[in-house]
């Protein structure tokens, strides 16, 4: 069964996603990130610029199938695993439960300090638990 984790209280959701992706890729994970198009565009730019010494190879889907298969990180609005080669980790920066999430080994939900984002996350939490998933909770305030 898919492991589900919520990372709460990210002061900057995009910057946290960059650090999370850097760590995941360094550990050999292959990751799909889902979010609305405008957030993916911002994340795409941040992955090039968030650190002067790091670059996280990534591709946007849909796109060139060979490039997507070779990239450790794929950015997409629709994470359906049947069209993407990666099935290890799905990072959700969006507001809805990602379609096809159960086809991934792990799902990480990143939740900011914004009250609207927190409310939407509570709804996703409820949907996961109603489907029988046990959720790991990571409060980022406790780690700082």
* Structural domains in the chain (count): 1
How high is the pLDDT of residue 128?
A: 98
CA distances from 30 to 17, 34, 83, 90, 131 (A): 14, 14, 15, 9, 25
Report the predicted TM-score, pTM, of the whole model to 2 decimal places. 0.94
Question: Domain containing 64: what range?
Answer: 3-143
Query: Domain containing 128 — which CATH number?
Result: 3.40.50.10110
| Per-run averaged pLDDT (10 residues), the chain, 144 residues | 96 95 95 95 92 86 92 89 82 94 96 97 98 96 66
């Amino acid at each position: 069964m898919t492991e589900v984790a919520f990372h709460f209280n990210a002061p900057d959701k995009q910057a946290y996603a960059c650090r999370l992706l850097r760590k995941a890729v360094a550990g050999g994970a292959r990751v799909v990130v889902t979010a609305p198009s405008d957030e993916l565009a911002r994340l795409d730019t941040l992955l090039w610029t968030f650190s002067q010494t790091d670059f996280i190879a990534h591709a946007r889907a849909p796109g060139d199938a060979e490039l997507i298969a070779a990239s450790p990180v794929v950015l997409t609005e629709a994470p359906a695993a049947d069209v993407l080669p990666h099935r290890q980790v799905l990072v959700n920066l969006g507001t809805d439960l990602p379609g096809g999430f159960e086809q991934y080994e792990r799902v990480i939900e990143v939740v900011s300090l914004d009250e609207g984002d927190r409310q939407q996350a509570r709804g996703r939490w409820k949907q996961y638990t109603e489907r029988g998933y046990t959720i790991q909770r990571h409060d980022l305030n406790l780690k700082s």
